[in-house]
Amino acid sequence: MIGLPLDHIAIHIDDAEAAIETVRELLGYEHAQVLEVPAQEGSATLTVLVQRGDRFRMVLCESRGDAHPISKWLVARGPGVHHLAHRVEMVEDALDAVEASGGTRVGEVVEAPGLRQVFAEVARDGLLHELTQRMENEGFEPDNTRALIDAGGDRNADAPASVVRRDRR
């Protein structure tokens, strides 16, 4: 598992306009995709920004509706990194390596054309990781994104802040 290239970082935000401006102006990222992800409990907008000349993406996730898992996550944890996604050759092989080193799978593998993904906890530090196998699909798909949320990508969304927040000294 050591040395897996990063595919993207997902950050839950509560002010998309300010976050997009900061990422574009200060960090030099370019706009790549806006993805609307409808759900029964509200909807989410994912804004995908890419580094110039690179395939690494930053995904800014904003929700509408208090019952949406992203909204609940923001209430419990505040804005910040939701997960790091690592590009892997085969999801199953990467999961085997994660589990062999003491990590755990979070949810099931979800698929879209040319794309397979699953969440995992690699260490007991509370940071969520996504294992991403891309065959042809370099983008993000609404159905896959919704399936990842349903598969457990927003675990602890309902937990009280005292359970999931950390002292940031």
Residue 166 forms part of a structural domain: no
Mean pLDDT, the chain, integer? 82
Residue 98 forms part of a structural domain: yes
Q: pLDDT for 40-66, tens place per residue? A: 788 888 999 898 777 789 999 998 888
pLDDT above 80 for 165:
no
In the prediction, which pLDDT does 155 show?
Answer: 56
- Our count of domains for the chain comes to 1
Residue 111 forms part of a structural domain: yes
pLDDT above 70 for 71:
yes
User: Looking at the DSSP assignment, which residues form a beta bridge with residue 58?
Assistant: 9, 49
Exposed/middle/buried for residue 100 (C-beta within 10 Å: 0-12, 13-18, 19+): exposed
Residue 23 forms part of a structural domain: yes
pTM of the model: 0.83
Residue 164 forms part of a structural domain: no
In the prediction, which pLDDT does 141 show?
Answer: 81
Residue 167 forms part of a structural domain: no
Query: Tokens at residue 97, please?
Result: 């390596």
For residue 114, the enclosing domain spans 6-156
Rounded distance, CA 65 to CA 59, Å?
Answer: 19
Band of residue 90 on the pLDDT scale cut at 50, 70, 90: very high
Residue 137 forms part of a structural domain: yes
Q: Closest by alpha carbon to 2, among 126, 103, 117?
A: 103
Q: What CATH number should be reported for the domain holding residue 35?
A: 3.10.180.10
